[in-house]
Structure 1
Amino acid sequence: MEQTKDTTVGVAHVFRGAFVHSTLEAPLEILDDTVLGVDKKGKIAFIEKGRDVKSLSAKWEFLLSDVRQLEPHEFIMPGLVDSHIHASQYSYSGTALDLPLLQWLNTYTFPVESQFKDLKFADKVYNKVVRRTLRNGTTTACYFATIHTDASLLLGEIADKLGQRALVGKVCMDCNDAVAHYKETTEDSSKETKRFIQELMEKKYPHVRPVVTPRFAISCTSALLHELGDIAKNNNLHIQSHISENKEECQVVQNLFKDLETYTDVYREHNLLTDKTVMAHGCYLTNRELDDFHKAGASISHCPNSNISLCSGMLDVRNALNHQVKVGLGTDVGGGYSPSILDAMRRALMTSKALKIQDPNHQTLTFEEVFRLATLGGSQALSLDSETGNFEVGKDFDALVVNVCVPDGPMDICGPEPTKVLLEKFLNLGDDRNICEVYVAGRRVVPFADKAS
């Protein structure tokens, strides 16, 4: 007898097939022939064995014909998390990688970022970067914007409109000798940060939040750092910045803050090292500093493309993990030339292997561990793991539907392969063509509803 459907109850989506994700216990868990339901609020309602689909259909009141059956060459994985990306630098990504960090900032970055006072320019760039990252499977992004409050608010609006989960930061900097017109006074930076936070939160976007964003210790006075630490504490907000990216930067920080022993001490003394802090790079953090990160619950965003492209250094992720520090992956566009976290995974593996060449005793990362860094690890780094990062009942359904045999795709599959092999091939060989659908909190955001590029 045919089932009848009550549209007032039940689920919004039901998928059956292969799922892959990470847990706290295992970097990779493969769930073949699994059925997963997403409720009408976008949360995972159930995840059970495929053989139980009939009983689940009765319990959750969906039709068996509503079940999306995946093909043998398809699987579903959690959405990718970019824990560090400069949305404002996307316009020149893929170029301007000929200088070390501080000269690169002065020559390319600051002049480009100063253009974002023009909201038409900001709208064009920010629409492109959010669309591009979504197409590449980034369901969560932690964005640096610029010092311009209205343009930063626009980035939040665009992320909400297109459906991306985002932390958006108005950059704060009251020191900049290289480009004099691209900086703020201490008072204005504090005031505009408060306005940015208030206006963004008043929008009540369901998945876009403000993040307190001192650019880095070199570009902020101690007075501004104290102000930002207080703002973050009083509003219980996320914090993002940079730390120990290259040796010259570390030396400048040491010269500026002579009374403090380490770069980490600078942030800690200004109440900017918390369990909601994510710091990009960390190539030269000492073991003592890693212990400080662990004690504070702070995180590192590993940005291997940028670290190599700007010849900054190489983060020993294994050592950070051994110190029980939360680590996610970042593209660091535009210091990193690729907006894809797939690229970040590959560069993370290569960096780990380069460290192995230097030290035969180094334990390289596995592809399973890097997969976790890109998904659950990223959500942990951004303190969002109670909401997203893997497939657990009650979490938001942030997910990618991957087809490794998409027509005219980047790889060839020569016969039936187990799900683990399909995943590894996708991580090493795949690109946005293999990502057929992207979901954020149960909403399908890719393919896009419109055709704008």
Structure 2
Amino acid sequence: MQVKRQIFIGTFIHSSSLTKLEYLHNTAIAVSSDGIIVAIEPECDASKAKSLLVPKLGWDSGPVSVEILDISSQNSKFFFPGFIDTHLHASQYPNVGIFGSSTLLDWLNTYTFPLEASLADTQKAKRVYTRVIRKTLSHGTTTAAYYATISVPSTNLLADLCVSAGQRALVGRVCMDQLGPDNYLDESPEQSLAATKECIEHIASLNQSLVRPVITPRFAPACSLPLLRKLGDLARETALPVQTHISENRNEIKLVKELFPTSATGARDDSYAGVYDAAGLLNDKMILAHAVHLTESEADLISARKAKVSHCPCSNSAITSGAAKVRWLLEKGIVTGLGTDMSGGYSPSVLEAARHAVLVSRHVAMDGDEKAKLSVEEVLYLATRGGAEVVGLEKKVGGFEVGMEWDAQLVGLGVVDEDGEEEGSEGEEGNVDVFGWETWPEKVAKWVYNGDDRNTRKVWVRGRLVHERK
């Protein structure tokens, strides 16, 4: 969808590195009608934008109008890159918050598989998927790596709805031919592969570039070795991304060792990562969710293959899986992003995942590894540029640079007046209170620890306004 040429003026905040946020004040960013950032002009107000920047870009003639959004006078508002959720199950959204006291494998049988199976009903699936797309957009998630179900029509519907809503997404049909209930399994490796190809072809037929297919073996225990190998061959043939789970839970790891002995896989060892590697799946386009209990050799293998990790702190805590050692992963050279992992995780907010990533890192540090602690700056990097690299979009999104696409959110914080009341509409800006004496890093920290969707005023994907809080 073509949009107007746009100029945004105000404060822009993004990650310039893992440990540093860059603050661009009194700046104008010009976005073309196809959603590409074409100019970043410092010390530019609305007057200069109209008199200098518009002519400089050649936008002062022709039928396409220029829209200007100026927030420079509002010190409680800023533009931030859209969040990238590198791991979530769209089909499980109705179950957020009801994971109960189950362990991972019990939780799958009690809650997950029955719900996913029921979404073969596309009317029910439309209701669920429409809501999860709207909900994630409202929290500033401009890109989502979605798992659907084993149903081809349901998976195709999710892709259609993402395109319609304007959300950037990876959409994967779940592949599983063992471990699940009889009514929710692929019939054979061959049937699973054929169904996956149907979904890939459907997304290709949509003739757009926002939504991409992703090969999705649920996790090793749910897939036979022949199926994993067929999906590995498909990954090589198509160069498509792959997403799955790894080392989330100790009982799950034990099960992998039982199901995939080295005598069958030909792997160098019986590790979880070794199974994926032997199947030809472990490559630089693979997204591995959780990675809580990786061994040293597994991490070295993942790093060598340049596979990526989606850190899901809310889910890992909620299901009592464990605390992933993110600093250790980063030091191994493993690219890492954040995932909400609904419905193991209870929130659609990547901002929530960011604050929990900070807290989980402090729990890791309590075991004696002081350097394990992550900073606000680091988790915001994981939520944006790190996530972009995980899903293979690092050249397109995750920051504000000329040539990148305008995937962004306008964040507004609550300003407290002299009477201790919030300025403007009551409760308009949510749970973050700004008194006026905070520095910008302090404002951002308040947002990370206290913010929610009420602070997400507007959201754009490739220049298109896809969410606005009324």
TM over 0.5: yes
Letter in 2 for 1:189: S
Counterparts of 1:171 and 1:23, CA distance in 2: 35
Matching residue within 73, 86, 89 for 2:89: 86
SS where residue 23 of structure 1 aligns?
strand
Aligned to 1:265: 274
Q: Report Cα offsets for 1:200-227 as digits up to 9, x if no partner.
A: 1111232001000000000001100011
Letter in 2 for 1:351: V
Counterparts of 2:439 and 2:448, CA distance in 1: 15
SS where residue 283 of structure 1 aligns?
coil
Give me the identity figure in percent: 40
Is 1:439 equivalent to 2:460 in the alignment? yes
Once the 2 structures are TM-superposed, how far is the Cα of residue 56 of structure 1 from its aligned partner?
Answer: 1.9
Matching residue within 432, 435, 439 for 1:411: 432
Give the conservation status (yes or no) of the 8 Å contact 2:6–2:66.
Answer: no
Aligned residues: 440
Aligned to 2:28: 35
Counterparts of 1:40 and 1:397, CA distance in 2: 11
Is 1:55 equivalent to 2:83 in the alignment? no
Gaps of 5+ in 1: 1-7
Counterparts of 1:420 and 1:55, CA distance in 2: 31
Which range moved further: 397-406 or 299-308? 397-406
Q: How does 1:389-428 map to 2 (within 5 A)?
A: 389-405=398-414, 407=425, 408=427, 409-428=430-449
SS where residue 50 of structure 1 aligns?
coil
Aligned to 1:98: 101
Aligned to 1:14: 7
Once the 2 structures are TM-superposed, how far is the Cα of residue 242 of structure 1 from its aligned partner?
Answer: 0.2
Compute the RMSD of aligned alpha carbons: 1.9
Counterparts of 2:13 and 2:19, CA distance in 1: 11
Aligned to 1:233: 236
Aligned to 2:253: 250
- Name the TM-score, length of structure 1 as normaliser: 0.94
Counterparts of 1:297 and 1:421, CA distance in 2: 35
Q: How does 1:13-162 map to 2 (within 5 A)?
A: 13-24=6-17, 26-51=19-44, 53=49, 54-62=51-59, 66-70=67-71, 71-162=74-165
SS where residue 370 of structure 2 aligns?
coil
SS where residue 283 of structure 2 aligns?
coil
Against the structure 1 CA distance between its residues 420 and 362, is the aligned structure 2 distance closer, same or farther, given a 3 Å change threshold? closer
Counterparts of 1:66 and 1:419, CA distance in 2: 27
Give the conservation status (yes or no) of the 8 Å contact 1:87–1:145.
Answer: yes
SS where residue 383 of structure 1 aligns?
coil
Give the conservation status (yes or no) of the 8 Å contact 1:83–1:382.
Answer: yes
Letter in 1 for 2:184: Y
Matching residue within 163, 179, 182 for 2:181: 179
Give the conservation status (yes or no) of the 8 Å contact 2:5–2:67.
Answer: no
- Name the TM-score, length of structure 2 as normaliser: 0.90
Aligned to 2:417: none
Aligned to 1:309: 318
Against the structure 1 CA distance between its residues 428 and 174, is the aligned structure 2 distance closer, same or farther, given a 3 Å change threshold? same
Once the 2 structures are TM-superposed, how far is the Cα of residue 446 of structure 1 from its aligned partner?
Answer: 0.6
